[in-house]
Amino acid sequence: MSSLDKGWEISPIPTKEQVGFYNENGYLKFGRIFTKSELDTLRDYVDQMIANLPLGKRSEQMDVPHFTNPFLFQYLTHPAVLDVIECFIGSNIVLWSSHFISKRSRDGLAVPWHQDGVYWGNRLRPMRVITMWLAVDASTVDNGCMRVIAESHEKKDLQYEDVDKEKHLFGREIINEDLNRSEGVDLELEVGECHFHDAFTAHASNPNKSGRRRCGYTMRYMPADVRHHVDDWNHQHHIYLLRGQDQTNGFNTYQKIPDF
């Protein structure tokens, strides 16, 4: 172990208490799943992807990068990740999506308060997705770490209104007064750590006011009994059966996992 690796501990799979906390609160702050060398390799790769972004495309908008970068499947299908995900959703695991949200220093967009499941609508039924948010860079209050409202995943009927798309990554925000934003929990992470949230957990993040980039990789999984309904928006959205068996009696179409 080099001196740089000191203090880089891999977390054991979540305890029953951690899974219980997640089920009760809709989120869980966790430790590290990848080794330092795996994380450094991922960061180098993302740095390159960002350097190669077409003019006008923001680094917060790197949605479904795995469709065009098979390399990322070594992270998305990593057995250590799936062992952790299995603790939350069982042993039949489907990859729903992934997204790099990288906020440049002193520039990043805000993420408005939202529930992923509302954005995804009826495309997934039932709506059961867990997102693992991996800190490619350290994520802190000053560079716009993710914030969550505990127990908000129980609220399925929140109201939304449009927000200024110049300043926000997504176009709609929760407006309910009873959702107390001042009770938002800041999920600060060291490099390589991760947190988890449910498809209905209300979450947001502030713009990056610091001189440090904030890059997170959202890796999204669902149990294989969730039906993927294809519409105009997502007819080219691919899902992948990563572990176990399909539980939709053949309703879902899974793509072959590419060589990586």
Ligand X SMILES: O=C(O)CCC(=O)C(=O)O
Alpha helix positions (H), 52-143: 73-76, 79-89, 116-120
> Of 42 and 101, which CB lies nearer to ligand X in the complex structure?
101
Applying CB under 6 A, among 133, 196, 217, 221 the residue interacting with ligand X is 133
Applying CB under 6 A, among 49, 85, 146, 163 the residue interacting with ligand X is 146
Q: At 142, which amino acid appears?
A: D
Q: At 233, which amino acid appears?
A: W
- Cβ-contact 31, 9 below 8 angstroms: yes
Give the CB-side neighbour count of residue 43, counting CA atoms within 13 A. Answer: 17
- Angle at CA 46, nearest 5°, toward 59 and 139? 70
x/- mask, ligand X, residues 188-227, rule CB under 6 A, reads ---------------x-x----------x-x---------
Record the tokens describing residue 106, joined without a space: 């002193």
Taking CB atoms, the residue at the shortest distance from ligand X is 205
x/- mask, ligand X, residues 221-260, rule CB under 6 A, reads ----------------------------------------
> Of 103 and 228, which CB lies nearer to ligand X in the complex structure?
103
Number of residues that bind ligand X (CB under 6 A): 10
Judge if the upstream peptide bond of residue 126 is cis by omega within 30 degrees of 0: yes
Give the CB-side neighbour count of residue 238, counting CA atoms within 13 A. Answer: 14
Applying CB under 6 A, among 111, 189, 226, 242 the residue interacting with ligand X is 111
Residue 101 within binding range of ligand X, rule CB under 6 A? yes
Rounded Cα distance between 32 and 21, Å, is 18
Site of interaction with ligand X (CB under 6 A): 101, 111, 116, 131, 133, 146, 203, 205, 216, 218
